[in-house]
């Protein structure tokens, strides 16, 4: 039970909250960040009752919407919880002492699985982007503008990426994810496979003996293949409703040198990593010195709630490398992404790239820098979210209406695919791999769920992408999918093995 004086201490702590109206940072975000810092530094202990949103709004002289939205974000991320008729309270979290944001120094300048990549572009390929939404004419202008403005720099070699693009990515991440980064903390990548190879080589560099790495189970099979091929010993860590089971990871391999996680939206099951697990993971990283690789593979496309804060923004003392992709949000041929983390780590990654002499083309980087700087990327992202929300709704509603007895839709608030579990009857008779092969004969791409487990034979289901097809195309595809499952469900034929 919370000590009696805690509420009084909490009231005093809340008096330190002040909002700056002379900055461009929105008042909602200022309030959210101030209260979050009080919780992380335990100046607001667990169980502390917070002032009501009405009182807080009066005290801060802001509209009640500001307080409601800030508390809503804190509740969505697990920092606080509400009790009917009683108000908002600070959640009980596994907190270790954390430095206040203002006191931190500014950073100086096994493994096979089914691939999600297909060349077919047929529904429901989860790797297919919404290319029809991409503003091609704007992009063409940005390519020309980028070359004219940054030609001199683009003619040079940049192992970590074109400086102007690194600068624009830093600004983008600060606005979108709350990460305060300098350009020397950013590296431009050629996608997930490219950066995972460099990470694996960096983690293993200079070490003696076998290097262990945590990977989520289930998780992306191609990522496991890459890390394993680079010589890391993979330690599959199970996930549950709260995401990666950190305690189990410490039991299996506390000495691991890195962990590859998808905390915003677990791949492939879709749940976010809970705040309690995030803090436990960060605490393990601080104790062990392990690198946390936060693969935010499509977290920008969110349909409900607010974007969750990154692992790196929760604790500046842990070694966190945040990965992101621009190709997922634009078109596959762009082949550009980023890694963001400690400047010394970025320097090491660039050194590994220099060793392989794998330069990234600079003209397209210059074009992307202008695409971000002019606000064109932000406008595209808003349009993308709007259009994909409609497409997702069509897929979700049709499956719920016509196939609720055949598949179970897993809860998901972000991303470009829905994950569904296969009904027990169909799973026993056929399995997801066998059904995927049959669907391919009918022009559908069904990525089976079971091979994403380290054993290759996990829970049966499918990852159904919807980004690359308009509503009419999705209706036709769902009709064909449901018809296939209905026919198989009523068939007396039994496939005894989940065909590989």
Residue pLDDT, tens place only, 26-82: 888 889 888 988 888 888 888 888 888 888 888 888 888 888 888 888 887 888 888
Q: Answer with the residue of higher pLDDT: 135 or 38.
A: 135
Q: What CA–CA distance (Å, rounded) separates 280 from 271?
A: 17
Q: What CA–CA distance (Å, rounded) separates 201 from 227?
A: 9
The verdict on domain 379-490 having CATH code 3.40.50.720 is no
User: HSE (CB half, 13 Å, CA atoms) of 349?
Assistant: 28
pLDDT the model gives residue 308: 67
- Percent with pLDDT over 70 in the chain: 88
**Domain definitions of the chain by residue range:** 4-93, 134-376, 379-490
Res 184 pLDDT > 50:
yes
pLDDT the model gives residue 465: 94
Q: How confident is the model at residue 111 (pLDDT cuts 50, 70, 90)?
A: very low
CB 75 within 8 A of CB 81: yes
B/e letters for 433-457, b = 16+ CB within 10 Å, e = fewer, are bbbbbbbeeeebbbbbbbbbbbebe
* DSSP state, residue 448: E
Q: Which CATH class is domain 4-93?
A: mainly alpha
Q: How confident is the model at residue 115 (pLDDT cuts 50, 70, 90)?
A: low
How confident is the model over 266-284, as a mean pLDDT? 93
Q: Which of 139, 187, 190, 164 is nearest to 330 (CA)?
A: 139
Q: Which of 314, 263, 313, 266 is nearest to 94 (CA)?
A: 314
Res 497 pLDDT > 60:
no
Classified as helix, coil or strand, 138 is helix
pTM above 0.85, yes or no: no
Q: Which spans in 80-191 are helix H?
A: 136-154, 163-177
DSSP string, 3-60: -HHHHHHHHHHHTT----TTSSS-HHHHHHHHHHHHHHTTSS-TTPBPPPHHHHHHHH
Q: Which of 47, 65, 49 is nearest to 14 (CA)?
A: 49
B/e letters for 488-499, b = 16+ CB within 10 Å, e = fewer, are beeeeeebeebe
Res 349 pLDDT > 50:
yes
CB 244 within 8 A of CB 251: no
Its CATH architecture, for the domain 134-376, is 3-Layer(aba) Sandwich (3.40)
Residues in CB range of 309: below 8 A, 6 or more apart: 36, 77, 177, 178
B/e letters for 390-412, b = 16+ CB within 10 Å, e = fewer, are ebbebbbebbeebbeebbebbeb
């Amino acid at each position: 039970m919370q000590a009696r004086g805690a509420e009084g201490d909490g009231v005093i702590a809340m008096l330190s909250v002040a909002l700056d109206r002379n900055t461009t940072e929105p008042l909602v975000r200022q309030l959210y960040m101030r209260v979050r810092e009080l919780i992380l530094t335990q100046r607001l202990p667990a169980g502390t009752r917070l002032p009501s949103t009405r009182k807080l709004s009066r005290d801060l002289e802001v509209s009640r919407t500001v307080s409601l939205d800030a508390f809503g974000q804190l509740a969505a991320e697990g920092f606080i919880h509400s009790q009917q008729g009683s108000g908002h309270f600070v959640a009980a979290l596994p907190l270790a002492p954390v430095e206040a944001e203002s006191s931190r120094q500014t950073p100086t300048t096994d493994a096979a699985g089914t691939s999600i990549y297909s060349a077919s572009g047929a529904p429901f390929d989860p790797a297919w982007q919404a290319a029809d939404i991409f503003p091609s004419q704007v992009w063409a202008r940005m390519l020309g503008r980028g070359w004219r403005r940054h030609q001199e720099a683009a003619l040079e070699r940049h192992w970590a990426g074109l400086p102007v693009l690194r600068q624009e990515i830093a600004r983008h991440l600060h606005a979108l994810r709350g990460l305060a980064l300098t350009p020397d903390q950013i590296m431009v990548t050629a996608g997930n496979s490219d950066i995972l190879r460099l990470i694996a080589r960096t983690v293993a560099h200079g070490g003696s003996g076998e290097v262990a790495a945590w990977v989520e189970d289930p998780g992306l099979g191609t990522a496991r293949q890459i890390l394993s091929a680079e010589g890391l010993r993979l330690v599959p860590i199970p996930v549950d409703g709260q995401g990666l089971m950190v305690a189990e990871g410490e039991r299996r391999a506390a000495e691991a040198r890195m962990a590859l996680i998808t905390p915003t939206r677990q791949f492939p099951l879709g749940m976010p990593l809970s705040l309690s697990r995030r803090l436990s993971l960060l605490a393990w990283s601080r104790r062990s010195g392990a690198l946390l690789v936060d693969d935010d593979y499509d977290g920008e496309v969110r349909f409900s709630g607010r974007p969750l804060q990154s692992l790196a923004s929760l604790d500046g003392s842990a070694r966190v490398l945040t990965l992101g992709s621009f190709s997922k949000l634009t078109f596959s041929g762009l082949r550009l992404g980023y890694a963001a983390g400690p400047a010394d780590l970025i320097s090491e990654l660039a050194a590994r790239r220099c060793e392989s002499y794998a330069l990234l083309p600079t003209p397209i980087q210059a074009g992307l820098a202008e695409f971000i700087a002019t606000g064109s990327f932000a406008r595209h992202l808003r349009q993308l979210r709007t259009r994909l929300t409609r497409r997702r709704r069509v897929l979700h509603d049709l499956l719920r209406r016509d196939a609720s007895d055949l598949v179970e839709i897993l809860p998901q608030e972000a991303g470009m695919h829905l994950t569904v579990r296969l009904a027990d009857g169909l799973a026993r008779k056929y399995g997801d791999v066998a059904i995927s092969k049959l669907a391919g004969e009918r022009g559908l791409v069904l990525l089976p769920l079971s091979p994403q487990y380290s054993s290759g034979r996990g829970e049966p289901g499918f990852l159904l992408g919807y980004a690359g097809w308009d509503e009419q195309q999705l209706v036709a595809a769902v009709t064909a999918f449901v018809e296939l499952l209905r026919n198989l469900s009523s068939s007396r034929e039994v496939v005894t093995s989940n065909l590989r």
